[in-house]
Amino acid sequence: MTIKLVAVDIDGTLLTSNRTLTPQVYQAVQEAKAAGVKIVITTGRPIAGVTELLSDLNLQDEGDYVITFNGGLVQDTSSGQELVKETISYDDYLDIELLARKLGVHMHAITKDGIYTANRDIGKYTVHEAQLVSMPVFYRTPEEMADKEIVKIMFIDEPEILDEAIARIPADYHDRFGLVKSQPFYLEIVNKAVSKGNAIKHLANKLGIDMSQTMAIGDEENDRAMLEVVAVPVVMANGNPELKKIAKHITLSNDESGVAHAIKTWVLGQE
């Protein structure tokens, strides 16, 4: 069946290892859009970390959409209208912040407007994330976070420290929240209802697109939910080996314009 919606992850997928957009990927996205295919950037990044890329890809016209915060926010890119917004309550934030202290890991919370940390010694990965997604970092005590609309919380630390902490997270936190490791140094925590898969299903339903007409391209564990719900799951050659087990197709690596290869081969039928 003809593919009408393609969900595309950013880091490790759409962009090269140097975080650049290749001419081949740009051209494939333009051809797919011209053919009436919805190309939907689907990422763990906040909206501020995607805006420039949406502009570069010409994906800010009426009828263009973006999924951010791992599915916590779905927006019309031309108007900014929010179709889905799932947040974390202040009480839940307090529980997670206390847990981070008990586990001895750095933590920050993200709103649509900024990154907030209660760590006076701001972790280097918080600084890295702020630079990556073009967002300011603020120091706030837990008591000062009561009025913030938190979309995502992240435990960020050295991989070995983070892995040891993850192993000690109580079982009830896995029941209460969506927890997914998106990088060796990132554990993302979102509202239980949030996933890239749920966001794609919601958007496809709104657009009248059957799930049999959907494809997703990703590389890491936070892409699993969307790869599991679409008809054509595509994993990058550089992707997580466990993720490749559920792929219908393996495309080229992100440094070889794998997204372009996937779109041209399995959407446009050009290769």
Within 10 Å of residue 43's Cβ, how many Cβ atoms?
29
- pLDDT per residue as tens digits for the range 102-120: 999 999 999 988 999 998 8
B/e letters for 183-208, b = 16+ CB within 10 Å, e = fewer, are bebbbbbbbeebbbbbbbbebbeeee
Confidence of residue 234 (pLDDT cuts 50, 70, 90): very high
Positions marked catalytic: 9
- This prediction's pTM: 0.87
pLDDT bracket for residue 266 (50, 70, 90): very high
Cα 88 to chain centroid distance, Å, stands at 17
Taking only the tens place, the pLDDT of each residue in 127-155 is 888 888 889 999 999 999 999 999 999 99
Structural domains for the chain: 5-85+194-266 (3.40.50.1000), 90-191 (3.30.1240.10)
Question: What average pLDDT does the chain have?
Answer: 95
